């Protein structure tokens, strides 16, 4: 019997996110590729003590207006609400651009833990989680605070850091189109972290612009196969 992956709205799709969950959030650093409706739904749902894994820590509605007229909501709202206990990612904020982002503010007040990860390392750690790998050695971060407390190894006369994989209980991602099975097509740079995060979570929830019948997507354009997708929400912006 086919499983119905279509959810009527974002609120229903995130309703079972539990306190203490680890959440991967797709997107790169701006509007494209962000699962905005799912983020707002999670903010309303109210799960607390979350660990958020994302490329960027979110800027919040006020600062986002400098990027897109009128602004947009991102996972900065989760920090503003006090729902996050730890952030793992590459770009905590926009280089000190005022006003201070919610994550910056909480970190400066000692109210949230933060693990800063080089961007390529972040992508590879997530890929290792997706592929069932135990980790990898990298030169990125050698001799910096990134290496603190981590195993190192000399390979061909050079020092490497061992990085562990990243997994999540839920991944909130954004795609352009899905068919009813959950095969996904992305639009241009919106692919960014979304495809790899889809493979590294126990439950992947995707927000799409359009859902089409099976057979209408070009197989050559499908980036994320349906086996990695558990819930689909059609949510036009």
Q: What is the pLDDT of residues 97-125, one digit of tens each?
A: 556 788 888 999 999 999 999 999 999 99
The whole-number average pLDDT for the span 147-156 is 95
Overall domain count for the chain: 1
What pLDDT does 65 receive? Answer: 66
Closest CA to 177 of 204, 205, 217: 217
226 within domain boundaries: yes
Are 35 and 72 in contact by the 8 Å Cβ rule? The answer is no
67 within domain boundaries: yes
The whole-number average pLDDT for the span 226-231 is 97
Q: What is the pLDDT of residues 18-77, one digit of tens each?
A: 999 999 999 987 677 899 999 999 999 999 999 999 998 887 766 666 667 766 788 889
User: In what helix (H) or strand (E) does residue 130 lie, and over which residues does it extend?
Assistant: helix 119-131
148 within domain boundaries: no
What pLDDT does 94 receive? Answer: 61
What is the separation, in whole angstroms, between the first and last Cα of the chain? 32
146 within domain boundaries: no
Domain of 215? 6-133+166-234
Q: Which two tokens stand for residue 19?
A: 């306190």
Q: What is the mean pLDDT of the chain?
A: 91
DSSP per position, 148-206: TT--EEEETTEEEEEE----EEEEEEEEEEEETT--EE--GGGGTTHHHHHTSEEEEEE
Cβ-based neighbours of 110, under 8 Å, separated by 6 or more:
none
62 within domain boundaries: yes
13 within domain boundaries: yes
93 within domain boundaries: yes
Instruction: State the CATH number of the domain containing residue 20.
Output: 3.40.1080.10
């Amino acid at each position: 019997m086919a499983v119905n992956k279509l959810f009527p709205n974002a609120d229903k799709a995130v309703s079972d996110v539990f306190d203490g969950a680890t959440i991967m959030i797709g997107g790169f650093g701006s509007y494209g590729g962000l699962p905005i409706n799912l983020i707002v739904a999670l903010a309303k749902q109210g799960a607390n003590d979350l660990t958020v894994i994302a490329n960027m820590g979110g800027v919040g509605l006020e600062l986002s207006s400098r990027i897109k007229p009128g602004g947009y909501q991102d996972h900065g709202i989760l920090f503003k609400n006090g729902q996050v206990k730890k952030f793992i990612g590459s770009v905590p904020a926009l280089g000190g651009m005022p006003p201070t982002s919610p994550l910056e503010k909480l970190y400066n007040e000692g109210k949230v833990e933060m693990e800063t990860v080089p961007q390529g390392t972040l992508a590879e750690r997530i890929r290792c989680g997706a592929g069932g790998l135990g980790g990898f050695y990298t030169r990125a971060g050698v001799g910096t605070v990134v290496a603190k407390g981590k195993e190192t190894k000399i390979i061909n006369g050079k020092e490497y850091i061992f990085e562990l994989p990243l997994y999540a209980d839920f991944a909130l991602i954004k795609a352009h189109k899905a068919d009813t099975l959950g095969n996904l097509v992305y639009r241009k740079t919106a692919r960014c972290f979304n495809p790899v995060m889809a493979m590294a979570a126990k439950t992947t929830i995707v927000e799409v612009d359009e859902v089409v019948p099976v057979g209408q997507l070009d197989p050559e354009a499908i980036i994320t196969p349906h086996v990695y997708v558990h819930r689909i929400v059609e949510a036009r912006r």
